[in-house]
Amino acid sequence: MRTISTPNAPSAIGPYSQAQISGGHLFTSGQIPLVPETMEMVTGSIEPQAEQVMKNLAAVLAAANTGWDRVVKTTVFLTDMADFAAFNAVYEKALGGAKPARSTVQVAALPRGAKVEIELIAEV
């Protein structure tokens, strides 16, 4: 097992790592819309929050020498399913044609008041 850490994604805000590689797969921790340089939350609607989360995940993927085309599964947590369509537009654009398996669930709350959190599994 190998720990992945990059300054281009937010550092962990608890006792966990950004990601782990095990058995040829990358397992990321959930990413929320924190700006890595400041550790401040992106505020506003779902779109800018989702864009930041996707940037954070892209940075973790790059640190593990993999990319969206190797993502096998994502799990998306939304605080409001009314944001589903707007989130989907951002998600699809960021994936650039990749279509990993995905689950999307509504949750009561996320850390720091985020509207979205995403974790993923990718081949490395």
DSSP letter at 11 equals P
Give strand pairing partners of 120: 74
The pLDDT confidence band at residue 49, using thresholds 50, 70 and 90, is very high
Q: What's the mean pLDDT in 68-76? A: 98
pLDDT bin (cut points 50, 70, 90) of residue 70 is very high
For position 22, what pLDDT does the model report?
Answer: 98
Average of per-residue pLDDT across 81-89: 98
Residue 88 lies in domain: 2-123
Mean pLDDT of the chain: 97
pLDDT tier at 95 (50, 70, 90 boundaries)? very high
Instruction: Give the pLDDT confidence score for residue 14 in this predicted structure.
Output: 87
pLDDT tens-place string over residues 102-114:
999 999 999 999 9
**Would you call 17 exposed, middle or buried from its count of C-beta atoms within 10 A (0-12, 13-18, 19+)?**
middle
pLDDT of residue 101: 98
Fill in the amino acid letter for 84.
F
- Cα radius of gyration (the chain): 13
Question: Number of helices and strands (H, E) in the chain?
Answer: 2, 8
Q: The CATH number of the domain where 76 resides is what?
A: 3.30.1330.40
Residue 59's pLDDT is what?
98
Q: Quote the pLDDT of residue 31.
A: 98
Q: Look at the chain and report how many structural domains it folds into.
A: 1
Contact 103, 72 (CB under 8 A): no
Residue type, 8: N
Instruction: Outline where DSSP puts E strands in the chain.
Output: 2-4, 19-22, 25-28, 34-35, 40-41, 71-78, 101-106, 116-123
